[in-house]
Structure 1
C-alpha cells in the first residue's frame, strides 16, 4: 500500500525545517509508534504512550512524559477532527528526547486475503518499534516483486516470528495461536488479544513452525491499519475463515476510542 502524502511534520510542536530535520534525516537510532486517528481519537492510546515511554528509557535512560506526547499529537493534528494516520518518532540528539509527529491521510488495511513469503530474518531488538528497518523493506520489496503482499519473518530453523509490518495469528482446533518468538507486541494485536476470551475465542502464545502451517485452519495479520486474512504462505494455501474474520472484526470494532 502506498502511503498518502505527508500533510504536516512537527518537531517538539514546531513546523519542521531543514535545520530541525537534519538529525532525524541522518540517524537510524530512534523509535516510533503509528496510530490511526478518527475524529480526534485513537485506539489503545495508553499502550502507544507506554510503548514510547519504555523505549525511550531503554535507548537513552531518559523519561518521556505521555501528556507531553499527547499534546504534541493534538497540536500537529490542528484544530480539526480530521481523520489521519499519525506517527510519533522519538530521537535524542542531546540530553533530552525530541518528538517528531507526522500526519498523513487515513489508511485502512485492505480486507482482501494476503499472500506472505517467508524469509529467514529476525529484527534486531525485535521487541522495539525502532528505526532502521532496512531488512524488512528489502525483503518486503522482493516479496511484492514476486507477487506477494508482504513477508513472514522466521528464524533459521523455520520458527515463525511476525510479519514484515504486522503480527500474525493462526487458528487451530483450540483457538488462536500467536507465535511466541521474538517479535514486536503490536498495539492492534494487544487490543484484540486482550478481548478474545470475552468474545468466546481461546487464545495462547505458542511455537509455530513454517513446515507445520498446513495444520492450521486459518491465519490473519494485524497492524495499526486493522486486520486481514492470510490466504497463502509460500506454497501453503490456508483457508479464509470468514466467520473468524467477522468475529475478529467485531472484537476490534468494540475497542473504545481514546480522545487525544
Structure 2
C-alpha cells in the first residue's frame, strides 16, 4: 500500500466508528463495496456507483439500498474534505432492519501513468460481477506479482482466458478496436464509463494470443495506465491511443454527491 492509503475518516451509518460498530466488518467478510475518487465534492459515474451498491445489496441481502441515503452518508463523511479517495462498504447484520453502511475517507489518489507490468496468475474471482469483500486471493497474487517486479496481477481462467486484473480492468488495442476481454469479471466504473465512449468490442482474450495485440491499458477508480508487458510479452505504449482514452475519460462529467 502507498503511504496515502492512511484512513482519515471512518463512519458507520453517519456516526464515528466505534469498537462495537466495527465488530461486523472486522469479523464478517460477507458484504460488498464501491471505491471512488472525489474532487471538489464530485464523483465521476456517481449513478453507476449507486446502482452497483443497490444491485449488490439486493443480491446479497434481499433488499435494496437507496441512492439518496448513500449520498447523504458520503456528504456527511466528506463534509470537511473536498478531494479524497472514498469507499462505501455495505453489511447487513442479522436482525437489523436496514443495511449498515460504512464510509471511509482517505487522501486522493491518481494512477501512476507509467507503463505497468502484469504477471499472469491462474485465478478467477468467485461471483466476479460483485465487488465483494474477502479479496484474500487477489491481494495474495498482487503482492506476489509486486515481489516479482511487476505492478499488477492479471487473473486468468482455465485455458489462459484473460478475465481482469487483481484490482483493475484491462483492455487491448488491435489497431481498430479497444478489446475488452469477454470473460466473467467485475464491470469497473471507469471501464463502464469508457467502453461506450471508445470504439469498443468484447471478445475472448487468451494468454496465447497476447502477441496479436499492439498495446494495452488498465483502468480502475484511480484512472488509466498503459501496459508495458504481460509476463514476457512486450507491448508498445501507443501515445495516440492513450491520448484518445484519456480524452474520453476527461470528457466524463463530475457528478455532485
Is the shorter-chain TM-score for this pair beyond 0.5, marking a shared fold? Answer: yes
Select 1:213's aligned residue among 210, 233, 239. Answer: 210
Alignment of 1:117-136 (within 5 A): 117-136=119-138
Partner Cα separation in structure 1 for residue 158 and residue 125 of structure 2? 13
Instruction: Give the distance between the partners of 1:62 and 1:54, measured in 2 at CA.
Output: 9
Q: In structure 2, what is the Cα distance between the partners aligned to 1:159 and 1:24? A: 33
The one of 98, 107, 110 aligned to 1:108: 110
User: Equivalences for 1:14-163 in 2 at 5 Å?
Assistant: 14-78=15-79, 80-94=80-94, 95=96, 96-163=98-165
**Equivalent residue pairs, number:** 254
In structure 1, the partner of 2:237 is: 240
C-alpha deviation, 1:81, in angstroms: 5.0
CA distance in 2, matches of 1:64, 1:216: 41
Q: Secondary structure at the match of 1:100?
A: strand
CA drift of 1:84 comes to 0.2
Once the two structures are TM-superposed, the CA of residue 63 in structure 1 deviates from its matched residue by 1.7
Per-residue CA deviations over 1:146-198 (Å, capped at 9, x if unaligned) read: 000010001121010001100000000331100010000000000011211xx
Runs of 4+ off more than 3 Å: none
Partner of 1:230: 227
Q: Distance in 1 between matches of 2:74 and 2:134?
A: 23
Q: Which runs of 5+ in 1 are unaligned?
A: 197-201
What is the rounded CA distance, in whole Å, between the counterparts of 1:174 and 1:207 in structure 2?
Answer: 16
> Using the alignment, how far apart are the partners of 1:37 and 1:21 within structure 2?
24
For structure 2, the residue ranges without an aligned partner over 5 or more in a row are none
The two structures, once aligned, show a CA RMSD in angstroms of 0.9
Q: What residue number does 1:199 align with?
A: none
